[in-house]
């Protein structure tokens, strides 16, 4: 199960955890172009979620 979690997380050189924005794959035709472009790329995790995931991944 940890492999599945690790595939969805990217670790930066400084150790931060990044994940993809949600709502990128489907139903984008009705979405404004500005919103589509803002969702692409990675976003940092909230520190509380990051702390839980670090404990889970390092088991």
List the domain range (segments joined by +) for residue 24: 2-57
Q: How many domains does the chain have?
A: 1
Radius of gyration of the chain (CA): 14
CATH number of the domain residue 53 falls in: 4.10.410
- Alpha carbons within 13 angstroms on the beta-carbon side of residue 40 total 5
Q: Cα–Cα distance between 44 and 46 in angstroms, integer? A: 7
Per-residue model confidence as pLDDT tens digits over 14-54: 988 999 887 788 888 888 999 888 888 888 989 998 988 88
Structure tokens at 19: 């994940």
Q: How far is the CA of 58 from the CAs of 3, 10, 46, in angstroms?
A: 11, 15, 18
Give the pLDDT score at 34.
92
Confidence of residue 1 (pLDDT cuts 50, 70, 90): low
Beta bridge partners of 10: 18
């Amino acid at each position: 199960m940890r492999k599945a979690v690790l595939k969805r997380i990217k670790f930066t050189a400084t150790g931060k955890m990044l994940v993809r924005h949600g709502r990128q794959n489907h139903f984008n035709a009705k979405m404004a172009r500005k919103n589509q472009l803002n969702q692409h790329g990675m976003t940092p995790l909230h520190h509380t979620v990051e702390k839980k995931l670090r404990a889970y991944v390092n088991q």
